[in-house]
Chains A and B, each alone.
Chain A
Amino acid sequence: MSKTRTLTYRDAIREALREAMQRDDRVFLMGEDVGRYGGAYACSKGLLEEFGEARIRDAPLSESGFTGAGIGAALGGMRPIVEIMTVNFSLLALDQIVNTAATLRHMSGGQFSVPIVIRMATGAGRQLAAQHSHSLECWFAHVPGLRVVAPATVADARGMLWTALQDPDPVIIFEHATLYNEEGEIAAEGEFSCDLDKAAISRSGRDVSLITYSGSLSKTLDAAQRLAEDGIDCEVIDLRSLRPLDDATIMKSVNKTTRAVIVDEGWRSGSLAGEISARIVEQAFYSLDAPIERVCSEEVPIPYPSHLEKAATPQVESIVAAVRKTLRT
């Protein structure tokens, strides 16, 4: 029997950061408050003392500036990890990410690659209001040249960083802000790197495929559990990778269950849920026994009051209702 241990998502990220710094001296961490303050979500607490200012670099309030610096360092042979406090702030760095990091391999005819990893928090649920709570993963998942992943479990939080650092091209890691305190079990020791291409079947079932990612995974699993009590057997897919999407796993599941519900904290219009829905219709149309359902965020800036924030985002009740709708019960 292999031993396991319990730790939080936050600790898993810190451990992954420390491991990366120890294994590869080209790795350094840069971002707002990552050093002295220990990170907005305390992911890098203690790392400044351990690795020093050269490798744990506090950046000024200029996302475009320090993301660009990270891209430059990556071009120069380093393996930078850039932390952006929240996806809302990453909009200031979109020019660097989309126009530079994602394009240089293409525009240089393959001569240059940008092996940068950009981590950022995303999502609602912590009453941080409309400028710190959005889920814009799909904006990045739209862009060729980027790889976009969303660890929803402690094990993925622990494993994805190292694998991302091995990628010769830019990788964006989205960490949902409600996950940092979540606990999970992982192996006591060993190699934690993990596959970034494949979605995971978090729960297997026969009746309906629930497709989700990131912070919505635990709500979706709770909904599946509640439906199981009524004899409805849900399969839950954790996408893990948002670009590329693992079509094969999605279609295999939908071909089996004939029904799909997509749970996505992004806004419905132009969402990843819309993209996945289109792919299912393109690739598994003849298997569908019900219209595809989407459970997405309401089309409003995410509200500050707790009850409105809950009402605006996918919840167990809305997921359960969507599943029942596909079953026409």
Chain B
Amino acid sequence: MPSLGADMEQGTLVEWLKQPGDIIHRGDVLAVVETQKGAIEIEVFNDGVLRDCRASPGDRVPVGEVIAILDGDDVSGMSIDKPSVSAVPSQAPVPDKPLSPGPRVTPAARRLAQQIGLDVRNIAPDGSGVVGLRQVQASSTETSPPKVQPAGIDFKAMRAAIAAAMARSNREIPHYYVSSDIDVTVFMDWLAQENARRSVADRLLYAVPLFRILAGTLVDTPELNGHYDQGTFSPAQTVNAGIAIAMRGGGLVAPSIQDVAGKSVDELRISLTDLVGRVRSGRLRSSELSNATVTFSNLGERTADTLMPIIYPPQVAIIGCGQIVRRPWVKDGEVHVRQIMSVTVAGDHRVSDGRSAARFLSRFEKRLTKPEDL
């Protein structure tokens, strides 16, 4: 039973999605586990064959307990009960025909499809028989019904989980706060122009480029991105941003999007839409709940000006963005009406100092004036 968050102690097995004898590949979803944060899909990190399912649906299993046995890495050399696999003799000559008559998929399209959980075989190719980014994006906007009915979320349990994590954060992490009011007029004007040339389905909420720029800036401030565990800080190689998402019934989760700085704006848009949809339907993946390296909390429109967020351990920083408001603002010696956003960085003083956050904010502000670089 994997730990799906610093505060998780046990999970309830809901169902197995693979059966003993199945060949498993890294990234496959093995089972669904109910936690305080909803039903989570458990992914596998190795290739192999599923041998033995030790837990049954309905079992409450403590974190760390064995729930299944996976055999080895070398799938090809295994004797497996399934005739479709074992029937292939080991010395069979390699056919010199092309591997698959299916559509050709570009690497970028394959990556995007994998990230948003689409099977490229189900995506219609373009006129030249190629599945490219455009085809995946088009396909992702068509709604596909979830395979399994979303499990309900226990909001009371979720509140308890938030309480435990936040109490631990306030108890253990010496927070410091640094914030700036930032003129985002240039950024918002760019976004309006950008959206004007996009189709309605492809339009960007401002959070998308905002998160992308936050992540891009974090790459240059590694002391705000990583995990602090047992007295040691390990900076992360990529910016896996936990995105604070409010649940409709109350409560909050912050599942992560991998390598936000390495994504294009459109890849991020698709990931975010997908994530929000799955949060609302209560279907998150295990890796999304445990590997965030920093958290972004964006209050959004018509909310409040400033927030002072609490770090989600073992992360070492959280960045909070208030609503964007029009304010009188001095620019070039004159008062103008500009769009202003208050941005607050909460940092872990065991790892970094206010100076890091200040440097981060000034770089972030500078990047916001050049959104066309995205």
Contact = CB atoms under 8 A, between A and B. Distances in A.
Interface string A270-305: 000000000000000111111000000000000000
A256 interface: yes
A328 interface: yes
A289 B132 contact: yes
A contacts with B: majority SS: loop
Interface residues of A, number: 11
Contact of B107 (A256, A287, A328): A287
Interface residues of B, number: 15
A285 B107 contact: yes
A258 interface: yes
A328 B128 contact: yes
A204 B264 CA distance: 16
B113 to A, nearest CB: 12
A230 to B, nearest CB: 15
Given A256-B264, A258-B133, A287 B128 contact: no
Contacts of A204: 372
Contacts of B46: none
Contacts of B111: 286
A287 B130 CA distance: 15
A88 B204 CA distance: 54
B109 A328 contact: no
Given A256-B264, A289-B133, A328 B108 contact: no
Contacts, number: 32
A204 B373 CA distance: 9
Contacts of A258: 106, 108, 133, 264
Nearest to A328: B128
A322 B158 CA distance: 55
B107 A288 contact: yes
Contacts of B89: none
A286 B107 contact: yes
Interface string B242-272: 0000000000000000000010100000000
Interface string A23-50: 0000000000000000000000000000
A286 B108 CA distance: 5
Contacts of B52: none
10 tightest A-B contacts by CB? A289-B108, A289-B106, A286-B111, A289-B133, A289-B132, A288-B107, A286-B107, A258-B108, A328-B128, A285-B107
22 contacts: A204-B372, A255-B262, A256-B264, A258-B108, A258-B133, A258-B264, A285-B107, A286-B107, A286-B108, A287-B107, A288-B106, A288-B107, A288-B108, A289-B106, A289-B108, A289-B109, A289-B133, A290-B130, A290-B132, A328-B126, A328-B127, A328-B128
Interface of A: 204, 255-256, 258, 285-290, 328
